[in-house]
Amino acid sequence: MTDRPQSSPLEPFNKSHPLIVFDGVCVFCSGFVRIVVRLDRQRRFRFATAQSPSGEALFKKHGLRTDSYETNLVLIDGVAFTRLDSFVAVMSELGWPWRAIKALLLLPRPLRDWLYDRIAKNRYALFGRKDSCEVPSAEMRIIQLLENEARLTVIVAGRSLAKAEAWCRTRGDVAARLVPTVFDRDGDLAAQLTSLRPDTLVDASGPFQAYGEGR
């Protein structure tokens, strides 16, 4: 489905950036979003879960059901895409070789919709369902902003070294040097910072409203 929406106060996003509205509890949908974040070298895409107020409002605006979220909604340059067309539209925005996926549009629309619906209606059974919604984290976005700077060494720190190492492996071939390490913000901060000697520290774990002046 494509249509050209009218302007609406229900769309609190910059229309110069493509927007993906997805089922936030769907493991498969969230996995697709993580892939897009990794491939989006120009950092153009924005994301919202269908269960969020803005996501639900956009679903309603474009005539989509809000009780099952059986399709992604993708908005690019004021045009709405759903079902398999939404997948093709996203991959096309990522450039080559992903743009070649546009060949799927050669399939008749009834067949495209049928194939998409078979997966969408069974996505929880096939891939699982989470207890809460997920959008790309602040950490992911910050590292995405820095990872293509060859002059940088980015220390990816957390309480679990194994998780930091695994996360760095998902970034693929990037220009910056990613260094996984352990950092516990509830521990001895001075000692840990002295050991790591970062030029700049970014705490993306939150909740930031709980910090006092001494932090």
The span from the CA of 147 to the CA of 140, in Å, is: 10
Chain segment 74-118, per-residue pLDDT in tens: 999 889 998 999 999 999 998 889 989 899 999 999 999 999 889
Distant-in-sequence contacts of 193-197, Cβ < 8 A, 24+ apart: 196/155, 196/157
Q: How far is CA 57 from the centre of its chain?
A: 19
Give residue limits of the domains in the chain: 2-127, 138-210
pLDDT score recorded for residue 108? 93
Chain segment 160-185, per-residue pLDDT in tens: 888 778 767 766 667 788 888 888 87
Q: In the CATH hierarchy, which top-level class contains the domain 2-127?
A: alpha beta
Residue 207, pLDDT above cutoff 50: no
The span from the CA of 191 to the CA of 47, in Å, is: 37
Contact 46, 90 (CB under 8 A): no
Residue with tokens 């992604």: 72
The span from the CA of 153 to the CA of 146, in Å, is: 9
